[in-house]
Structure 1
Amino acid sequence: MTHSRVLILAAAIAAPILFVAGQALHPALGRDADTAFALMLEHRDQLIVSRLLTTAGAFLLLPALWLVSTLGGRVTRVGGVIAGVGTFFNAVSQVVQGYAAWAATSPGLDHAATMQILLRVDEGVVGLPVGYWSVPVFGLGLVILGVGLLVSRSVPWWMPALLLIGVVAAFFTAGLGPIVAVTQAPLAVALIALATRAGSALAAKPRSGHAVV
């Protein structure tokens, strides 16, 4: 395996670990804006670490999705592209929202005013790249990718099945705090297993167009 492929595989393995770690560190803020902002003030350092870990994991999922997409056919590749768009803009959203929250919760500010600014970061067309839409798009892409792998039968059935279970569990438990480390574990295990298998398959291919005897 070439050095570039080793780096891609290393990034693909690190990606879900960083992503899940970031999600597990994210404080459970709830849906009420006033309560959520109070918790942001209380857990300011934890929140920025969570956002940055999630950002790193989301960006590194791009090579992971590329690797996994090589295992199946057209449906798998379409799912990989959709998931790639979702994870890219999710990463952008995580870092922007993270630093916005870090600034808005700085000591000595009028937090009643900064909370209102924070609530408007993703408003309008300008705020679209950092909107929540990227999360369901990412999930949809993973579902299509998993279905494509099941249909193609290019990998053991449990890998895409675990991926699909992980997507559902992650979607319904996002933002609930440390329990996410458990609920998103199937997603991480599936992605690591699939990326490792794809990396092994690429390493086994000859470097030239000639068959290996």
Structure 2
Amino acid sequence: MHVEDRQRHRPGQHYLIRLRAPDDYTAQRSYSLASDDDDPLVEFLVERLPGGEVSEFLADVAEVGDVLELRGPIGRWFSWDTRTPALCLVGGTGVVPAVAMTRTARRLGRPDLVRVVAVGRGPDDLPYADELDRAGATLAFTRQSVGERPAGPPTREEVAALLDGVEVAFVCGSSRFAAFAEGLLTEAGLSPDAIRVERFGVTG
């Protein structure tokens, strides 16, 4: 998406996309940025939700050339400063901020600064699974075994093995996943003060 007068953004930030009907009724949703700040366009992942006012419009109606109302970038607390060693523990569509962080780290020539554990039901259900796999992420599929890893959520041992040198952790996913991920990180030895959480749920 092309954004006029675009401001620079940090990985982890989001935009607010607002739709406006002819009668001036509005509906808006927040979407995390998947793109690196140096990318020529901004990239969002839109999950089409049945009955979702904004997602159904963006998926089924919006066309190239349409003009949308945007506000952003938003959010400084849940953003990576591009210098601090970080771990992302993300689930489902919550992988998007981790994608932006890994892309930025790769551009900076410091892919070692960002480690990712991404959780989904299976490879076909996890957005950006192939890209994250190529970036060296740990992929944990709860309903499908892949390679030598059996099906199941990430374990404390898997997470603890990635925490050496990590100073901040980013958790993004559903409320249920976020609660699980926070508990797992603290069990693995990370201070709660080092954990930043962005959770989402169904809106109606």
Structure with the higher strand share, 1 or 2: 2
Q: What TM-score do the two structures reach when normalised by structure 1?
A: 0.26
Q: What TM-score do the two structures reach when normalised by structure 2?
A: 0.26
Query: Which protein is bigger by CA-based radius of gyration?
Result: 1
Structure with the higher helix share, 1 or 2: 1
